[in-house]
Chain A
């Protein structure tokens, strides 16, 4: 059976002199397709790139941006590193927790939001900041964060 990610992977492989280099992009492709990296998804990557399963799993678990459990429809990635912390990011974590019932590292019961605490996301001049899915939201306040999140169903 032809893998669902095979076609896109062919283009990716062409960028590198060695097939193995396509492992990080392949994991992203699998994650985009399935929403997270299940054992089956990682096995598929292993077959496509002819890289041992254990190696795929080792790499997939080394990097913070690969997901190893089902995530919600929207992933909030909120920075709490120093520049964001001194401008009130911790209070924002509390607001998200209280309003949507989601703990850092967890997903709300209705599957609407997952919350991930990030190390620096490079938006320190407009701190505090978060990524929701792939959208940057900066200069967050206790008021505007809820308005922003209400835009994600």
Chain B
């Protein structure tokens, strides 16, 4: 497959506008500015582009909702707060291919009649901030964005807003609160951000990778785009693979490639000839899978049928040496730390889960603890304001579902059987 999102990134000067222009950069914007905004939205719907942030919501539908709202100004916000542990797929775009994102945002801004765009960038990517700001300056100087972009009479101003280390701000309503200068507490929905978002105005929040698909999508058209990868959920997709594989890294592959192909064909299999024990396929919130479940097509439609989720496409591979109780505990420490504290089932429930896991891992687990974990997790699911609590509960339930023996052994032997 031709690299789209990661095109040029092996060129050390890939972040410079000249390099991007030399390979046809900003041609799609020029072409798109000649189209009516609604035609672009139709193209996106026809291409069946789904949001790459984790939920896989159809992008064209989100855009249509925002576009139909009569209120102006509208805001386009790029979610560059990739904080889902295991996820590093947007970083190469932000650091090495910033113009594909800027062009994508300018096209999207035109489609949505949004004249203001923000890139909400996580605080942990300090280098990306300077690179993006320089790229924005270059694009403005060339007249691609800013006032009267490319002589079209349309305006699009773009700015970077730096987050400050809060996972919850990856959730779109918390992100909007944070953009407005507040604590990152999620808002109740509805109203949805497409109607009432930043500063009360229609706001479209899209992931870095989603927006970066736009120049290519507009260049090749919806039919060619939809022909890549899974029929139900097409397009190029970034997968970021970490853990015990021979060649970890970010891979651009067609949507629907199987988890097995990613691990064995692209990443060279398990390191040091060891055996695969477990895979987290889409970032830490997605259900863990045992080795006999890795023939699943990695896309938003098929993964749920195989007991997990595509999430952010962050594949964490674990070999036989890993204690899964410890991994589960580490994940829950993370969720406890990142719970915003707004609602009780998440704030107290996740903390309780972490405490029970800690005693099991520490060799002080009691008979009945696994049932307790399941009960507490069951009382979080569906009862929280935002998906953070659900994610934490689902992590525990799925580790127990697939690896119950390992939890039982920790309790029976009063410690880790793997050491």
Chain A positions near chain B (C-beta within 8 angstroms): 15, 17-18, 20-25, 27-28, 51, 58-59, 62-66, 77, 80-83, 85-87, 118-127, 131, 134, 136
* Inter-chain contact A125/B164, CB cutoff 8 Å: no
A119–B327 Cα distance when bound, in Å, is: 14
Q: Note all chain B residues with C-beta closer than 8 A to A136.
A: 127
* Inter-chain contact A81/B243, CB cutoff 8 Å: no
* Inter-chain contact A83/B86, CB cutoff 8 Å: yes
Beyond A122-B124, A126-B248, 13 additional contacts (C-beta under 8 Å) are: A63-B164, A63-B184, A83-B242, A83-B243, A85-B326, A118-B124, A119-B334, A119-B338, A120-B85, A125-B240, A125-B242, A125-B250, A131-B126
* Inter-chain contact B166/A82, CB cutoff 8 Å: no
* Inter-chain contact B243/A87, CB cutoff 8 Å: yes
* Inter-chain contact A82/B331, CB cutoff 8 Å: yes
* Inter-chain contact A64/B199, CB cutoff 8 Å: no
Q: Note all chain B residues with C-beta closer than 8 A to A65.
A: 123-124, 164-165
The interface centre, meaning the residue of A27, A63, A126, A131 with most chain B CB atoms within 10 A of its CB, is A63
Given contacts A17-B199, A65-B123, whether A127 and B182 have CB atoms under 8 Å apart is: no
A97–B182 Cα distance when bound, in Å, is: 35
Nearest-neighbour CB distance to chain B for A77, whole angstroms, equals: 8
* Inter-chain contact A15/B180, CB cutoff 8 Å: no
* Inter-chain contact B85/A58, CB cutoff 8 Å: no
Contact of A125 among B126, B241, B337, B338 (CB under 8 A): B241
The residues in B between 136 and 161 inclusive whose CB is less than 8 angstroms from any CB of A are 159, 161
Nearest-neighbour CB distance to chain A for B246, whole angstroms, equals: 12
Nearest-neighbour CB distance to chain B for A93, whole angstroms, equals: 13
The verdict on B213 contacting chain A, using a C-beta distance below 8 Å, is no
Nearest-neighbour CB distance to chain B for A51, whole angstroms, equals: 8
* Inter-chain contact A81/B284, CB cutoff 8 Å: yes
* Inter-chain contact B178/A24, CB cutoff 8 Å: yes
Task: Tell me the nearest residue of chain A to B319, going by C-beta.
Answer: A86
